[in-house]
Amino acid sequence: MFRNQYDTDVTTWSPAGRLFQVEYAMEAVKQGSAAIGLRSKTHAVLACVNKANSELSSHQRKIFKVDDHIGVAIAGLTADGRVLSRYMRSECINYGYTYESPLPVGRLVVQLADKAQVCTQRSWKRPYGVGLLVAGLDESGAHLYYNCPSGNYFEYQAFAIGSRSQAAKTYLERKFESFPESSRDDLIKDALFAIRETLQGEKLTSSVCTVAVVGVGEAFSILDQATVQALINEFEISGEEAPATASVAEEGAGDAAADQGGAAAEEEAAPMDI
């Protein structure tokens, strides 16, 4: 993607039918540090890599609790992510106030997607530069969705976004078939393995990553550093390598549910379809 005469405005189409500003927004997501999500029938886990600007500063928060049953991990422009998290929290509170019941995740991601779409069709706005992995629980079990700046959203068994996420995706593609029946702890272990893949040799410690869980009977919470370090020690000491399974790697990480109108991921299509 290089500069061209059709990329100044988000409201300008290119002759090939692409909105370059939206695609550039998706690039911003790829520049952010990695975030991964995976789910079983009863639990969903989010994990992300924390990158601090310098040794002197603290790292940015990339995982936010939205409600007891929903949490979100972001990659890209963290400020945009913070604003969208606030919107999501507000929507959950208002829904809970009116209906005295938790906002179904599927409904929330549609509202989020519609909000993102608005920014792709107004000349005075710009798309949100953040990708969101929304993990949540509703009556039908645990769900993981990915919302991108284009306004599209997909449901996933497991997904990774941000820089060097392809390494994590490859790991998840190998293992995703076992996720639906995974236990909570195995799911967290897989999340940590996937994070380790994105670190490309850097040592995995609890100061570099953040992990959060939500599940049946367990409200969304971010695990504290000590717990995460203990889990890391558990599998590093046992000398476990990221286990390979016999399943063939498929295109696009995990299965994308078609019931909400999400298109199946294909490498050849314009990036916003992924």
59 versus 184: smaller Cβ distance to other proteins: 59
Q: Of the candidates 30, 51, 59, 65, which one interacts with other proteins according to CB under 8 A?
A: 65
For the CB of residue 90, give the shortest distance to other proteins in the complex, in Å: 8
Looking at 176-249, list the stretches that DSSP marks H as alpha helix, in order from N- to C-terminal side.
184-198, 225-237
How many Cβ atoms from other residues are within 10 Å of residue 248's Cβ? Answer: 7
- Residue count, binding to other proteins (CB under 8 A): 8
Q: What is the 3-state secondary structure (H, E, C) of 66-103?
A: EECCEEEEEEECHHHHHHHHHHHHHHHHHHHHHHCCCC
For the CB of residue 106, give the shortest distance to other proteins in the complex, in Å: 21
Phi and psi torsions of 207, nearest 5°: -80, -15
| 252 lines the binding site for other proteins (CB under 8 A) | no
Residues 6 or more apart from 236 whose CB is under 8 A from it?
Answer: 204
Residues 81-100 that bind other proteins (CB under 8 A): 86, 89-90, 93-94, 96-97
| Residue 132, H or E segment | strand 130-138
For the CB of residue 224, give the shortest distance to other proteins in the complex, in Å: 13
105 versus 187: smaller Cβ distance to other proteins: 105
Residues 210-239 that bind other proteins (CB under 8 A): none
Residues that bind other proteins (CB under 8 A): 65, 86, 89-90, 93-94, 96-97
